[in-house]
């Protein structure tokens, strides 16, 4: 069954005019600054007047500084009505699919050579062993129709002959377990804060606050990851983790004999997930 993202939150925020109703929250592992929090609130809330965010107990007013955001309850004030942004989030298949694109996988391995989030180098690469590393797509292949509809191919500038969604610019190398969390939007990279990694769940591996390795974003490399794609993923992560009760964390481990399709049918977004599964499976045979 899906897991509730709101469990464990240590920061909550409310409309000051309705203090008993939480608009959302997050798990603060230490890397989110006051400036980051204001930017996130700007993604999540819509109003016609400037917002003022104040910690309820201390009365501290949040400002655009690099001070770490304190834990607690925050009230959001505005002279206009506050609405929660209802922008859809793009959920994705959770089991690994990117390895099926062999040229993409080879190119990502050659460019990065390490997990660009944890910094772990694949010292087995000289033997051709990449068992703990996966080439991850930043924007999911299974949502290619959304990619086309929104014109995101404009962010791809290399001319490597691949379909643009399979460009090396739309990927990087991750440790297999980190790839799962990246696909679940449980961690992301903020390109507007020095490529800082933000972990939106409990930080099991000490990744929160690290910096995305420069190997995948070298300005001199035509196959570098563009900021626009990182920014898209970060926005999706804010929507998934901080808005309301948050979006569900989906099961990804389906042992042999498990009724995978049956489990998916019992989950939220069942129709969308099943459609993505069928599209992806047909992709491999047509």
Residue 280 confidence class, pLDDT cut points 50, 70, 90: very low
Looking at residues 176-204, what average pLDDT do you find?
Answer: 97
pLDDT of 196 over the 50 cut: yes
Average pLDDT over residues 178-189: 96
User: In the predicted model, what is the mean pLDDT of residues 135-139?
Assistant: 96
Residue 133 pairs with which residues in a beta bridge? 175
**Mind listing the pLDDT tens digit for each residue in 120-134?**
999 999 999 999 999
Whether residue 262 has pLDDT greater than 90: no
How far is residue 91's CA from residue 233's CA, in Å, rounded to a whole number?
11
Find the mean pLDDT for residues 164-189.
96
Q: What is the per-residue pLDDT across 212-239, written as a single tens digit (0 to 9) for each?
A: 999 999 999 999 999 999 999 999 999 9
Residue identified by tokens 């939150």 is 9
Q: Which residue, chain included where needed, has tokens 């069942």? A: 270
The percent of residues in the chain predicted with pLDDT above 70, rounded, is 83
What mean pLDDT, rounded, does the chain reach?
87
CA-wise closest residue to 231 among 175, 173, 152, 162: 152
Put residue 97 in one of left, alpha, beta given phi > 0 → left and psi -120 to 50 → alpha: alpha
Angstrom distance (rounded) from CA 195 to CA 42: 19
- Side by side, the strands of the sheet bearing 11-15 are 22-26, 11-15, 72-77, 52-55
**Rounded to 5°, angle at Cα 211 from 179 and 72:** 90
Mean pLDDT, residues 135-147: 93
pLDDT tens profile 12-60: 999 999 888 889 999 999 999 999 999 999 999 999 999 999 999 999 9
Mean pLDDT to the nearest integer, 199-224: 97
Q: Is the pLDDT of residue 266 over 80?
A: no
List, in order, residues 6 or more apart from 194 with CB less than 8 Å away: 211
| Total count of residues recorded for the chain | 286
Distance CA(110)–CA(3), nearest Å, equals: 36
Q: Where are the domains of the chain?
A: 11-84, 98-229
| Residue 276, pLDDT above cutoff 70 | no
The mean pLDDT of 172-186, rounded to a whole number, is 96
Cα 253 to Cα 2, 118, 204, 256, 258: the distances in Å are 12, 22, 19, 10, 9
């Amino acid at each position: 069954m899906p897991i509730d993202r709101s469990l464990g939150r240590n920061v909550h925020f409310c409309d000051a005019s309705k203090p008993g109703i939480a608009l959302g929250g997050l798990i603060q592992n230490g890397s989110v600054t006051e400036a980051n929090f204001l930017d996130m609130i700007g993604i999540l809330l819509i109003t016609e007047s400037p917002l003022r965010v104040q910690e309820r107990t201390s009365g501290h007013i949040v400002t655009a500084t690099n001070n770490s955001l304190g834990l607690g309850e925050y009230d959001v004030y505005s002279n206009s009505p506050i609405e929660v942004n209802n922008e859809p989030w793009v959920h994705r298949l959770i089991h690994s699919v990117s390895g099926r694109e062999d040229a993409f996988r080879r190119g990502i391995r050659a460019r990065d050579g390490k997990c660009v989030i944890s910094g772990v180098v694949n010292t087995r690469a000289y033997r051709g062993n990449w068992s703990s590393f996966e080439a991850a797509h930043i924007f999911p292949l299974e949502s290619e129709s959304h990619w086309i509809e929104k014109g995101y191919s404009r962010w791809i500038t290399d001319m490597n002959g691949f379909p643009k969604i399979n460009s090396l610019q739309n990927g990087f190398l991750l440790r297999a377990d980190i790839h799962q969390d990246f696909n679940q939007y449980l961690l992301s990279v903020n390109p507007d804060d020095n490529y800082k990694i933000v972990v939106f769940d409990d930080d099991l591996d000490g990744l929160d606050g690290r910096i995305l390795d420069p190997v995948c974003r070298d300005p001199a490399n035509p196959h570098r990851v563009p900021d626009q794609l990182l920014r898209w993923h970060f926005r999706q992560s804010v929507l998934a983790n901080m808005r309301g009760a948050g979006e569900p964390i989906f099961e990804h481990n389906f042992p042999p004999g498990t009724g995978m399709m049956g489990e998916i049918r019992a989950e939220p977004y069942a129709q969308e997930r099943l459609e993505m599964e069928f599209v992806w499976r047909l992709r491999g045979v047509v």
